[in-house]
Amino acid sequence: RTVYVNGEYLPETEATVSIFDRGFLMADGVYEVTSVLGGKLIDFAGHLKRLERSLNELDMQKPADFDNLLDIHRELVRVNGIDEGLIYLQVTRGSDGDRDFAFPSADTKPTVVLFTQNKPGLAHSEASKKGNKIISIEDIRWGRRDIKTVQLLYPSMGKMMAKAAGCDDAWMVEDGKVTEGTSNNAYIVKGGKIITRQLSNDILHGITRAAVLRFAKEAQMVVEERSFTIDEAKEADEAFTTSASAFVMPVVEIDGVQMGDGTPGPIAKRLREIYLDESL
Ligand code: PDD
């Protein structure tokens, strides 16, 4: 695989980053994941805009290659021959060669890393046909979940808790209300209405979420942006999640409670089809 590090395209075995990089020492960095379908980048403009916002919110300077990021994404797709897969982009605050809680001087160069993940069959995965079984866990993350930081330890632990329970993923719950999935936005459907938490600092402003809600409204579906409790979710007709890495993923079980007949619901399936059609 060819990867990109600070202005250079290199074989992955030759790419290096300093051990003092604040991304490594302090999780001081932000990232984006963009999907590739049919060799095409999906929703790239949205990801770039959110990256810019994340950088701003953390007082990080834009990397010098910020304006070339589209070209860099395209080049990596090309040289690695990606038809279906993902591109991971990370920008960290870099380092001035030591460990310090205070940020290094503002002219410290951020570290920019990009790599591809080849995922043939992503659009028609077995998982999307079966749907996900999820557990609920308490949301103990920090208060700025709208910033897409690389601080992903708790979501990783959530995935492991789900696996240990024989499930696929976890939804996080705060004050009884679902915030989001470990790496996706959460939805329920009740009486034909699509319900998903309103945007705030409590959740990531998903790029796939924005697209799916737009498609849903265009298809005359009713969308309600509001919090819902985990108990309400268990009584819903269907549930699903959205993310750049799994598009629209049906949820068929929550904390052992089967959703509908235990197979992906009609609205989740339809939204997944619309999303893939519109993207290809
Ligand atoms: N995760 N919420 C969280 C906590 C996420 O990590 C993600 C994305 C989303 C969905 O956002 P989007 O639709 O823009 O992908 C919501 C990525 C895919 C990841 O960490 O791999």
Q: Where are the domains of the chain?
A: 2-124, 126-279
Residue 60's pLDDT is what?
96
Whether residue 251 contacts residue 263, with contact meaning beta carbons closer than 8 Å, is answered with no
- Name the architecture of domain 2-124: 2-Layer Sandwich (3.30)
Residue 19's pLDDT is 97
Give tens-digit pLDDT for 212-255.
999 999 999 999 999 999 999 999 999 999 999 999 999 999 99
Give dist(CA 231, CA 136) in Å, integer. Answer: 10
Q: What is the pLDDT of residue 279?
A: 86
Q: Residue 152, SS3? A: coil
Q: What letters, b where the CB count within 10 A reaches 16 and e where it falls short, cover 95-122?
A: beeeeeeeebeeebebbbbbbbbebeeb
Q: Would you say the CATH fold of 126-279 matches that of 2-124?
A: no
Q: What is the CATH number of domain 126-279?
A: 3.20.10.10
Q: What is the pLDDT of residues 226-235, one digit of tens each?
A: 999 999 999 9
| Interval 55-102: pLDDT, tens | 999 999 999 999 999 999 999 999 999 999 999 999 999 999 999 999
Statement: residue 280 has pLDDT above 90: no
Decide if 148 is catalytic: yes
Q: Is the CB of 33 under 6 A from ligand 1?
A: yes
Ligand 1 centroid to residue 159 C-alpha, Å = 14
User: How does pLDDT run across 120-142, given as a tens digit for each residue?
Assistant: 999 999 999 999 999 999 999 99
Q: What is the mean pLDDT of the chain?
A: 97
- Catalytic member of 40, 109, 133, 148: 148
Tell which atom from ligand 1 comes closest to the C-alpha of 203: 2
pLDDT score recorded for residue 98: 95
pTM of the predicted model, to two decimals?
0.97
* Contact indicator for 108, 93 with CB cutoff of 8 Å: yes
Q: Is the CB of 207 under 6 A from ligand 1?
A: yes
Atom of ligand 1 nearest to the CA of 31: 20
Indicate the top mutation candidate among 147, 153, 182, 184 to test ligand 1's pocket, ranked by most ligand atoms within 8 A of CB.
184
Outline where 133-247 has alpha helix (H): 153-164, 207-218, 230-234
Q: What is the pLDDT of residue 272?
A: 98
Q: With bands split at pLDDT 50, 70 and 90, how would you rate the model's confidence at 10?
A: very high
DSSP state of 122: G
β 169-174/8-11 pair status = unpaired
Residue 242 Cβ inside 6 Å of ligand 1? The answer reads: yes
